[in-house]
Amino acid sequence: MTADLVEVRDLAITFPGGTGAVDGVRAVDGLSFTLAAGGALGIVGESGSGKSTVAAALLDLHRGTGARVDGTVRVDGTDVLAAPDHALRALRGGTAAMIFQDPLSSLDPYYAIGDQIAEVHRVHRPGTSRRAARARAVAALDRVGIPDAARRARSRPHEFSGGMRQRALIAMALACEPRLLIADEPTTALDVTVQAQILDLLHTLRAETGMGLLLVTHDLGVVAGSVDEVLVMRGGRAVERGPVGQVLGAPREPYTKDLLAAVPRIETARGGAAALPAPRAALHAADRPAAAPGPAADASAAAPPLLEAAGLRREFGRRGRRTTAVADVSLTVRAGETLGLVGESGSGKTTVGRMLVRLLDPTAGTLHYEGRDIGGLGERALRPLRSDLQMVFQDPVSSLNPRRTIGESVADPLRAAGGLDDAEVRRRARDLLERVGLDPAWYHRYPHEFSGGQRQRVGIARALAPSPRLLVCDEPVSALDVTTQAQVMALLGELRRDLGLSLVFIAHDLAVVRAVSDRVAVMRAGRIVEEGPVDAVYDNPQHPYTQGLLTAVPVLDPQAAADRRARRAAA
Amino acid sequence: MTGYVLRRLGGALIVLFLLSALVYLLFYVAPGDPAKLACGPRCNAEQIRQVREQLHLGEPLLQQYLHFLQGLVAGRDYSTGTGVLHCHAPCLGLSYQNDQPVTTLLASRLPVTASLALGAMVLWLLLGVGTGLLSALRRGGTTERVLTVLTLAGTATPVFITGLLLLMLFCAGLQWLPFPTYVPLTEDPEQWAWNLLLPWTALALLESAKYARLTRSATLETLADDHIRTFRAYGLRERAVIGRHALRGALPPVIALNAIDLGTMFGGAMLTETLFGLPGIGRLTVQSVRTVDLPVVVGAVLGIGAAVVLAGAIADVLYALADRRVTLT
Amino acid sequence: MSDPQESGAWRRLRARPSAVAAAAVLAVLALLALGAPLLSALEGQDPTTYHDQLIDSARGGVPTGSLGGISADHWLGVEPGTGRDLFSRLLYGAQVSLLVALGATVVQVLIGVAVGLAAGFGNRLLDGVLSRFTDVLVALPMLVFAVALTAVVPEEFPRPLLLIVVIGLLNWGGVSRIVRAQTLSLKKLDHVAAARLGGSGPWRVARRELLPALAAPVITYAAILVPSNIVVEASLSFLGIGVKPPTSSWGQMLSTATTWFRADPAYVLLPAACLFVTVLAFTVLGDAVRGALDPRERSRLRVGTRTAGPRPARKQAAAAAPDTTKGAAR
């Protein structure tokens, strides 16, 4: 067993500290692993676990950045960390090629894609003529499934779609027939159907070329169908390593178990969110019975409609260059129910959400709140109603004013409403912080002192401050790690139950939507293609688009993942 | 693309139109009697009255402005007491000083200003982009620190100080160069360049500092881009990464800025021309201000404004061409 | 009060030796300018008295004695042609320079912020009108226009005030563009939407969510404006359109020096050095302020997937650059 393709021993990587007194951030701390030739290893972990730092170390991309790298890294026999520059250059792209998370920014915007691939090819095959290198690039593009490769090779990256770009990057990686492909979050920026295509492509290429694969991802579902072995990382160390079926199916370590338990399952019938293990941070959830989210499910059909949208349409841009974000959307939210709104990027779901709370004015269509037409109300007439319709935003960074304390952010709606003295406002804001599982003593702290999950809780507290009846949650958990995601989802479910809220839950993640929704609407290109009770839609989708979407979702069971791959190949 | 260019030029025309109205308003409504100024200090009341009539100063303001616009588009006749003088389109009026059409005056000064601008541009691009690139590549080293100090000094020195020091050194002290006088390129190319060498250098030293800073920051910004990481990860030499990919990304802002600078330069470099005694558009403007020759001042300001606005439009188009990611709207 | 970003900026600013040095130079300069009457009295001179006995009329008016006539009475020598005391003329020149530059900066920032906010916040029509107007203004070659404007204003108008108004009125376009762009991008942030949903009206949103975030870019831009204003004032004086003759100004001295640089080099070097040091100090300080307020300056060395937050568009670098050329005096 001397012929390991990758051998990492006692790897430790420290980044120089910022302004603080600490001598730096230890991103990777004593990590060892091997990867056999032709094997596939997945490195999974939450943000900050050091997984991408490890991937970069395999090509010593840290060289010259000031980071301190200790230990040994061998790739195909080369001692990477000790290799002289020319040997390292030969290794990079020649022996081991890497693909990155964001395929748009990872390609040079100024050159044609074919030229960029040809350039890399010529670096590693110095004798090649320009013409031959170009032909090679076209062949590589053709191989990764770019239609009309000879013509598309002349396009620049911005003329490609996200999935095509990632294919192009993979083509670049293939140009020199490497023995190892390092993929750093290769599908994180992509929609779920495109993600499935890229993962399938990697699978096929691996089978054809016999190259090794090191797949770095935060998504356990992505590794399930793509690798043989999994390494779980946390805080720069290895937590658990083993065959993919064993780690995902019967994990030994508590951390891996927690991680797996937090992943929402597409195949589980609804009630999943409440069935999650009581999250540690959501203190209040612990002493409540972990039952399905209340009677709303049964009552929903009978409950009166709270918000009704009919024929909503929204266009952007001025004449000549108008684009239609939402073409025609009609939906009803009943009191006390959760409506899931799911769709891929660009489907218009966020625009719909913003129109529902009247942050955006509809170009056409009507909006009725409790039977009253609010679609055409002016800002002033709308203000008394504002408190009833609130929103939780996606980005925990930009949704809080960085210059104000979290307590003041929560207190803001109370102050704007007027009628309360300062002490009462503060008292209520503290109560709200406590309600969402934050320490009320943190009132005077600033957003940057908190993690993403905590900031999202602040955002929820602020949305609750005016005592709303409807909460539109726009991708509230998509920027969060999976364990934090589960906690925030549990909190939302609990608040809905306790406060009798109606929720519109917008997300691209089908499993997340299933876990929280009573009914679900599937959006595509500004229209709702399918709508119905959540289990009915997920278990028996009628529209081909929904069907495709559902088969593309990665699942945790490697066997099931293989089945789905076969089904996709057949389709 | 063509649509974008046309739209951008249309926008430029609107800006120019507004500019003309503003300038006209400011100068002809400003205190001081244009008729008195046009006639000269020794005119009596009757002569001033005649001039006022000739210049239509008795008419309402809008009427006057329309006459002015008409002159711009179609030309206009002026009676000069003895006869009628036709001023061809685009007519910006007649100089109070010598009754010459302003357009003719400006045109006669253009070769000087153009010589100054183009020569200086070549120098500042070579010097500025080179310096900026070098300091981006040698960041953290002594070279960068020295270049940063030089660049800062360059930005902090007004052109008349640089020019004076150059004059003191090369004309008065070492006597290597003549005190600049303008020799037309068509007459004697060698003397033309020899005489313009000092003004070019003075201008280039000032401008190149700006370009050095821009090139440096744009290069560093590009070097931090993800695609640079890609090419490093694919084994390209640092030379190729920088020469092909980082520099290419840094070019669009430099090109755009250069178009704008060249445009403003065509409006004349007042300080440089005054200091070195070059009879360009800038010097003409300063002289007209001193003699309160309003038509020339207004004409110069409008002409320069046109050059700048056009340059801005050209810069935008060039930027869009150089950086294809910018959506043309 | 304890705004986390601003206090961090202070710390970063103080940690730069160049910034501290520049601030010290400027403090000394300000003291010299303010103390001009006192210091002149100490020397026993004033800036306007002619000293015919100190210049050599046989050699065309060059100061007698070496180095431009430096003596115990005249610490930095005298002016060629008139024999006026250079030390006190330079001090009074500093007064004009600082007063005009800072005054003009205040005018520029006030107008720029007001117009930029109105454009960024107002409806499409208002934005269109104001932006178009700003375009026209930015298109105006400032120096030319300033030269032209000073020509039509009556002689009686106090010159330093005129310079402040002219420079101030002509070069606020950059500030307003930056404020408008910032307002437009801030408006899109979720916390502003949240404030609207929370029931805040437009004024409340502007006051609480937008204005505090505008401080950093405005301060940064203002810091760059000051040195450029100094150069513009000196340039106008150099062209003979600045302050009126008995009052001294560095630019005016340099203008006179163009006829004396062969005979009396010291007369060129003194005002040139003053101007250079002042502009340099303000430029260095401006650079440091920008660095301290711009979080992007901080290290981007880490190789990782999740560098949070979108990278600012490249277009900004290019769009901001032409604005700084506006003050360029050639």
Write the secondary structure of chain B as one string of H (helix), E (strand) and C (coil). Answer: CHHHHHHHHHHHHHHHHHHHHHHHHHHHHCCCCHHHHHHCCCCCHHHHHHHHHHCCCCCCHHHHHHHHHHHHHHCEEEECCCCEEEECCCCCCECCCCCCEHHHHHHHHHHHHHHHHHHHHHHHHHHHHHHHHHHHHCCCCHHHHHHHHHHHHHHHCCHHHHHHHHHHHHHHHCCCCCCCCCCCCCCCHHHHHHHHHHHHHHHHHHHHHHHHHHHHHHHHHHHCCHHHHHHHHCCCCHHHHHHHHHHHHHHHHHHHHHHHHHHHHHCCCHHHHHHHCCCCHHHHHHHHHHCCCHHHHHHHHHHHHHHHHHHHHHHHHHHHHHCCCCCCC
pLDDT of residue C40: 75
Q: What is the number of CB-based contacts under 8 A between chain B and chain C?
A: 175
First to last CA, chain B: 9
Any chains having at least 3 CB pairs less than 8 A from chain A are B, C
- Nearest CA-CA distance, residue B166 and chain C, Å: 11
Q: What is the arithmetic mean of pLDDT over B74-86?
A: 71
User: What tokens does B327 get?
Assistant: 């959506």
User: Is the domain of B70 the same as that of B139?
Assistant: no
User: Is the domain of B78 the same as that of B125?
Assistant: no
Judge whether B57 lies within some domain.
yes
What is the three-class DSSP state of C62? strand
- A86 at the B interface (CB within 8 A)? no
Q: Which of B161, B206, B253 sits opposite C318 (nearest CB)?
A: B253
Q: What is the arithmetic mean of pLDDT over C35-40?
A: 77
pLDDT of residue C67: 66
Query: For chain C, what is the radius of gyration of the CA atoms?
Result: 24
What DSSP element (H or E) covers A15?
strand A4-15
pLDDT of residue A560: 86
First to last CA, chain C: 43
Q: What is the arithmetic mean of pLDDT over B253-280?
A: 83
What is the three-class DSSP state of A181? strand
User: What tokens does C311 get?
Assistant: 């990278």
CB contact under 8 A, B236 and A111: no
pLDDT of residue C3: 53
pLDDT band at B38 (very low <50, low <70, confident <90, very high): low
Q: Which of C136, C254, C311 sits opposite B15 (nearest CB)?
A: C136
> How far apart are alpha carbons A45 and A47 in whole angstroms?
7
CATH of the domain at B148: 1.10.3720.10
Q: At what angle do helices C265-293 and C250-257 cross, to 10 degrees?
A: 140
Q: What angle do CA B3, B6, B8 make, to 5 degrees?
A: 105
Residues in C closer than 8 angstroms to A355, CB to CB, are: none
Scanning every residue of chain C, which has its alpha carbon at the shortest distance from the alpha carbon of A68? C302
Any chains having at least 3 CB pairs less than 8 A from chain B are A, C
pLDDT of residue A283: 36
* Sheet-wide strand order for A78-79: A25-36, A4-15, A68-75, A78-79
> How far apart are alpha carbons C220 and C237 in whole angstroms?
27
- C191 at the B interface (CB within 8 A)? no
- Per-residue model confidence as pLDDT tens digits over A513-553: 998 999 999 999 899 999 999 999 999 999 999 998 998 88
- A108 at the B interface (CB within 8 A)? yes
Judge whether B248 lies within some domain.
no
Residues in A closer than 8 angstroms to C304, CB to CB, are: 27, 52-53, 56
pLDDT of residue A465: 92
Measuring CA to CA, how many Å separate C34 from each of A337, A528, C28, C40? 72, 72, 10, 11
- Nearest CA-CA distance, residue B230 and chain A, Å: 6
Residues in C closer than 8 angstroms to B14, CB to CB, are: 132
Specify the CATH architecture of the domain A290-388+468-540: 3-Layer(aba) Sandwich (3.40)
> How far apart are alpha carbons C241 and A220 in whole angstroms?
73
pLDDT of residue C308: 30
User: Is the domain of B58 the same as that of B140?
Assistant: no
- Quickly list H helices, A181-253: 192-209, 220-224, 244-249
pLDDT of residue A272: 44
pLDDT of residue A478: 86
**Residue C156: CB atoms within 10 Å:** 5
Q: What is the arithmetic mean of pLDDT over C13-39?
A: 84
Q: Looking at B31, B62, B87, which one is the last position of a domain?
A: B87
- Range from A484-488, B303-307, B323-327, C280-284 carrying the lowest mean pLDDT: B323-327
Interface predicted TM-score (ipTM): 0.79
Query: Where do the CATH 3.40.50.300 domains begin and end in chain A?
Result: 290-388+468-540
Say how far residue C4 (Cα) sits from the centre of its chain: 28
Measuring CA to CA, how many Å separate B162 from each of B112, B168, B261, C271, C272? 20, 10, 19, 13, 9
Chunk chain A into consecutive blocks of 10 residues (it has 571) and report each block's average pLDDT, rounded to whole numbers.
Answer: 80 74 76 91 89 91 86 91 91 91 84 92 89 92 89 88 88 90 89 89 91 92 90 92 91 91 78 41 38 43 83 82 87 92 89 92 91 84 87 88 90 87 92 92 89 91 92 90 89 90 92 91 93 91 92 87 85 73
Q: List, as ranges, residues 304-363 from A with C-beta within 8 Å of B.
A: 321
- Range from A192-201, B291-300, C77-86, C321-330 carrying the lowest mean pLDDT: C321-330
- Among left, alpha and beta (phi > 0; psi -120 to 50; other), residue A48 is left
Q: What is the arithmetic mean of pLDDT over B153-159?
A: 83
Burial class (CB in 10 A: 0-12, 13-18, 19+), B199: buried
> How far apart are alpha carbons A171 and A134 in whole angstroms?
12
User: Is the domain of B54 the same as that of B138?
Assistant: no
Residue range(s) defining the domain that contains residue B262:
103-221+254-322
Residues in C closer than 8 angstroms to B305, CB to CB, are: 139-141
Judge whether B92 lies within some domain.
no
Residue B232, pLDDT > 70, answer yes
Residues in C closer than 8 angstroms to A465, CB to CB, are: 198
pLDDT band at B261 (very low <50, low <70, confident <90, very high): confident
Q: Which of A52, A66, A386 sits opposite C197 (nearest CB)?
A: A386
Q: Which of C4, C198, C208 sits opposite A466 (nearest CB)?
A: C198
Residue with tokens 């942030």: C189
- Nearest CA-CA distance, residue B258 and chain A, Å: 20
- Nearest CA-CA distance, residue A69 and chain B, Å: 17
- Per-residue model confidence as pLDDT tens digits over B306-323: 887 788 778 777 777 776
> How far apart are alpha carbons B90 and B299 in whole angstroms?
10
Judge whether B260 lies within some domain.
yes
C contact test, residue of A13, A350, A403, A443 with most C CBs within 10 A: A403
- Quickly list H helices, A476-528: 482-499, 510-516
- Bridge partners of A471, per DSSP, are A390, A503
pLDDT band at C15 (very low <50, low <70, confident <90, very high): confident
* Sheet-wide strand order for A389-392: A372-373, A364-369, A305-316, A323-334, A527-533, A519-524, A338-343, A502-507, A470-474, A389-392
CB contact under 8 A, C280 and B161: no
Q: List, as ranges, residues 517-556 from A with C-beta within 8 Å of C.
A: none
User: Is the domain of B122 the same as that of B39?
Assistant: no
Any chains having at least 3 CB pairs less than 8 A from chain C are A, B
Can you spell out the DSSP letters for A273-332? HHHS---SS-HHHHTS---SS-THHHHTTTSPEEEEEEEEEEEES-TTS-EEEEEEEEEE
Q: Looking at B87, B114, B141, which one is the last position of a domain?
A: B87
User: Is the domain of B75 the same as that of B173?
Assistant: no
- B233 at the A interface (CB within 8 A)? yes
pLDDT of residue B315: 78
pLDDT of residue C4: 55
pLDDT band at B40 (very low <50, low <70, confident <90, very high): low
CB contact under 8 A, B234 and A107: no
- Range from A451-455, A463-467, B261-265, C326-330 carrying the lowest mean pLDDT: C326-330
Measuring CA to CA, how many Å separate C252 from each of A386, A423, B235? 63, 63, 59
Judge whether B318 lies within some domain.
yes
The total number of structural domains in chain B stands at 2
Of B60, B53, B69, the residue nearest B21 (C-alpha): B69
Domains and CATH numbers, chain C: 14-281 (1.10.3720.10)
> How far apart are alpha carbons C81 and C48 in whole angstroms?
13
Amino acid letter for position A521: A
CB contact under 8 A, C136 and B229: no
> How far apart are alpha carbons A44 and A242 in whole angstroms?
12
pLDDT of residue C316: 37
- Range from A194-203, A391-400, B161-170, C56-65 carrying the lowest mean pLDDT: C56-65
Q: What is the arithmetic mean of pLDDT over C33-53?
A: 74
- Quickly list H helices, A226-266: 244-249, 254-262
Burial class (CB in 10 A: 0-12, 13-18, 19+), A65: middle
> How far apart are alpha carbons B91 and A285 in whole angstroms?
82
User: Is the domain of B67 the same as that of B123?
Assistant: no
Residues in B closer than 8 angstroms to A102, CB to CB, are: 226
Scanning every residue of chain A, which has its alpha carbon at the shortest distance from the alpha carbon of C7? A403
- What is the percent of chain B where pLDDT is above 90? 2
> How far apart are alpha carbons A73 and A8 in whole angstroms?
5
- Nearest CA-CA distance, residue A547 and chain C, Å: 32
Residue C319, pLDDT > 70, answer no
A contact test, residue of C13, C187, C197 with most A CBs within 10 A: C197
- Nearest CA-CA distance, residue A173 and chain B, Å: 8
pLDDT of residue A532: 92
Q: Which of C191, C199, C306 sits opposite A399 (nearest CB)?
A: C191
- A53 at the C interface (CB within 8 A)? yes
Judge whether A168 and A143 are in contact, CB under 8 Å: no
User: What tokens does A566 get?
Assistant: 């076969």
CB contact under 8 A, B249 and A110: yes
CB contact under 8 A, A399 and C190: yes
Measuring CA to CA, how many Å separate A519 from each of A468, A489, A494, A515, B150? 21, 16, 18, 11, 67
Measuring CA to CA, how many Å separate A516 from each of A266, A269, C239? 11, 10, 74
Q: Looking at B30, B55, B87, which one is the last position of a domain?
A: B87
pLDDT band at C5 (very low <50, low <70, confident <90, very high): low
- Nearest CA-CA distance, residue C175 and chain B, Å: 18
- Rounded to two decimals, the pTM is 0.78
Cβ neighbours for B35, distance < 8 A, ≥ 6 positions apart: B48, B49, B51, B52, B55, B57
pLDDT of residue A330: 93
CB contact under 8 A, B158 and C234: yes
- Nearest CA-CA distance, residue C151 and chain B, Å: 6
pLDDT band at C50 (very low <50, low <70, confident <90, very high): confident
